Structure 1
């Protein structure tokens, strides 16, 4: 847990091919100290990587586990710590591996809670002694609220009323986390656990939790892409994209978003930790980013990072040299990628494009160098 006592800065790795040592060394050479690693795009030995089958967890798949450990070894060789962040759990298959369909079963059936606890107990037992592992991020961007009757970015009173109704049920995210953490602690009493907020880890979705978990080795994570209407891929497809800074639809209304509004929105998780007594160094912004080809992207990154600087917070930008999607790969600049990038994906070959420091990447790179 000592690793997280001072601000740690890094990047997200959501690649389709298991990253090699050159990849991790490049991130370390920028000055990153950690990487948030997802493996769900890697070729699995069975239906779902490591899980075997998210429909019915049978136990860890040994071939996949060996692949994951090999990648952890490479990160360790580069001097990086790793936060392991699965995109799928039993009963919650990542939508991109599920025909584009959101999988809500985990939030309807407690049998998947037990299978998720079994999975994490098994994985913690396998990885508890690996020197690269800095935390277990139990699931990326859970959204039990999505089909549970709570609107995204609802006001605080509405969120609290919703949680009071759902508390103790299958959509009770803190209760789910308590069960999984307890299973991990049966075999690993020391490795930190990182918990994403609900509604896809929204920065306002910690606010309805009545209290933190009792485990002292817990980190709380939020992601920052708001206003999503301006920062996301669909905005590029609009005839006239929403500008940042500028007026953007958010929570059912038109709002002006700029550096001050970003700071106001990000204040919400800080209000929660202040009210609940969680130390500031236990709060993480596990992802943030914007579409690199949007004209306001560099300004948006600067505005988000300025808040995180002032708060001396842990963060990991999205994403580092992603080989299956170029949208937030800031080293590629603002141009479209050439056809050979997509050809490599079709052929399941390594990403062929060189990376350079660019204006879009500078707000991140400058801070990594500190």
Structure 2
């Protein structure tokens, strides 16, 4: 790691010690995986890691590595994540079954997941298995929808093909059977960002989608309960994480119909305002707090903590209506965005106030060919878009580590892991 650092600011200097949790929870209070989600206080704080199948025609044999799945991670990657305070990893990667029929176990993908879980366990962190691809569903509509270069690689037949949907159920039943006894696996995330509404119909509003397509094969509310049922045939207790269609965005959450299961966690992904703020280009000048048009309505809004509170209200209301735990399993910001540290400080603080577990996007691999090219969310690189190496600290890193330092629960100190 390079020892350079960004200039300290008065803001970062005030982040000295974590505030006391609202509720006293100790490792002795945690007796099951479910307790990590339902104890009324944030207990899992960490990051997503991303992987996908390597296609040599698209990726070559260097960019994402020469294995079946890439980019590769090392044990040191996870030791470094844990050393910053994280206790939780969302493995956002390919499913164990092939994308095309005959749908069957891909042994190389399975071996890769086994290896990731082993490294995460060695670093004393918990994990959720989150599947991005599998029967009838490729990675490409999540990362690259609408980009002509990837035409021919898109596969989203799961939303129109009952055989692919049944294979997705079978894949999860197989996955649960394989990993239900693994003590660090504390969640199954059924599908990363369901998106039938966009890829089939180019619909962004949940009201419109459900008016015309509710009850169809494209309706996630029909498919996901079948997956839950499949999992429960082999695993009755591991928490199941479910997000809504619309890429699990907040405005779609109220349209996600709860399922009758004792161990369900409902999740959202939070990147708003997307184009106007969190994903703006390096030359963008919208900041936080600030005043600008946050939603393309040609009116300026005050973008501050109150804006974030209002944004999260539907999530709080969903919890009150359904009495099921909530998690924010993806959120983040491009590292160069003005006011990123202040934004993340307020946002993560609101997660804490609501007692939600959360995982930032993302913890990047140290595999150099990939790290140099894909770095927008690599907060270790600091706020200078030109930097391609880790620095010692930055205001954004200080904020993330401030909240991660509140973690007191790890696999090594809870009863259900060490029986």
TM-score (norm 2): 0.74
In 2, distance between residues paired with 1:289 and 1:23? 19
1:112-133 C-alpha deviation (Å, 9 max, x unpaired):
2111111111211221212221
In 2, distance between residues paired with 1:17 and 1:11? 16
1:218-247 C-alpha deviation (Å, 9 max, x unpaired):
1111011000013344x2166x54444331
1:302-330 C-alpha deviation (Å, 9 max, x unpaired):
22112112112110111113453211111
Contact 2:77 2:365 (8 Å CA) reproduced:
no
In 1, distance between residues paired with 2:234 and 2:111? 20
Q: Match of 2:250? A: 203
Name structure 2 gaps, 5 residues minimum.
1-33, 52-69, 407-419
Alignment of 1:30-179 (within 5 A): 30-40=84-94, 50-52=96-98, 54-95=99-140, 96=143, 100=150, 103-147=155-199, 149=201, 151-152=203-204, 154=205, 159-160=206-207, 162-179=209-226
In 2, distance between residues paired with 1:331 and 1:228? 21
Moved more, 253-262 or 193-202: 253-262
In 2, distance between residues paired with 1:251 and 1:125? 46
In 2, distance between residues paired with 1:81 and 1:173? 27
Contact 1:73 1:132 (8 Å CA) reproduced:
no
In 1, distance between residues paired with 2:45 and 2:80? 14
Alignment of 1:260-275 (within 5 A): 260-275=306-321
In 2, distance between residues paired with 1:187 and 1:25? 32
Alpha-carbon distance, 1:333 to partner: 0.7
Change in CA separation of 1:307 and 1:55 when aligned onto 2, cut-off 3 Å? same
Contact 1:92 1:105 (8 Å CA) reproduced:
yes
Alpha-carbon distance, 1:285 to partner: 0.3
1:47-78 C-alpha deviation (Å, 9 max, x unpaired):
xx7333x1225311223212211220111121
Contact 1:287 1:318 (8 Å CA) reproduced:
yes
Helix, strand or coil at the partner of 1:200: coil
TM-score (norm 1): 0.83
Contact 1:224 1:287 (8 Å CA) reproduced:
yes
Alpha-carbon distance, 1:31 to partner: 2.1
The alignment status of 1:212 with 2:258, answered yes or no, reads yes
Contact 1:34 1:82 (8 Å CA) reproduced:
yes
The alignment status of 1:335 with 2:384, answered yes or no, reads yes
The alignment status of 1:2 with 2:35, answered yes or no, reads yes
Q: Match of 2:22? A: none
Please provide the CA RMSD for this pair: 2.4
The alignment status of 1:302 with 2:345, answered yes or no, reads yes
Q: Match of 1:14? A: 50
Helix, strand or coil at the partner of 1:236: coil
In 2, distance between residues paired with 1:57 and 1:317? 35
Alpha-carbon distance, 1:2 to partner: 2.0
Name structure 1 gaps, 5 residues minimum.
41-48, 342-352
Change in CA separation of 1:355 and 1:176 when aligned onto 2, cut-off 3 Å? farther
Contact 2:278 2:337 (8 Å CA) reproduced:
no
Higher relative contact order (CA 8 A, sep 6+): 2
Change in CA separation of 1:151 and 1:164 when aligned onto 2, cut-off 3 Å? closer
In 2, distance between residues paired with 1:253 and 1:115? 45
Q: Match of 2:234? A: 187
Q: Match of 1:222? A: 268
Q: Match of 2:397? A: 361
1:140-168 C-alpha deviation (Å, 9 max, x unpaired):
1111221455743x4xxxx3464254222
Alpha-carbon distance, 1:299 to partner: 1.9
1:69-126 C-alpha deviation (Å, 9 max, x unpaired):
1220111121111001121122221114895455432222222211111111121122
Higher Cα radius of gyration = 2
In 2, distance between residues paired with 1:62 and 1:149? 34
The alignment status of 1:315 with 2:351, answered yes or no, reads no
In 1, distance between residues paired with 2:108 and 2:292? 50
Contact 2:282 2:337 (8 Å CA) reproduced:
no
In 1, distance between residues paired with 2:79 and 2:89? 11
Helix, strand or coil at the partner of 1:272: helix
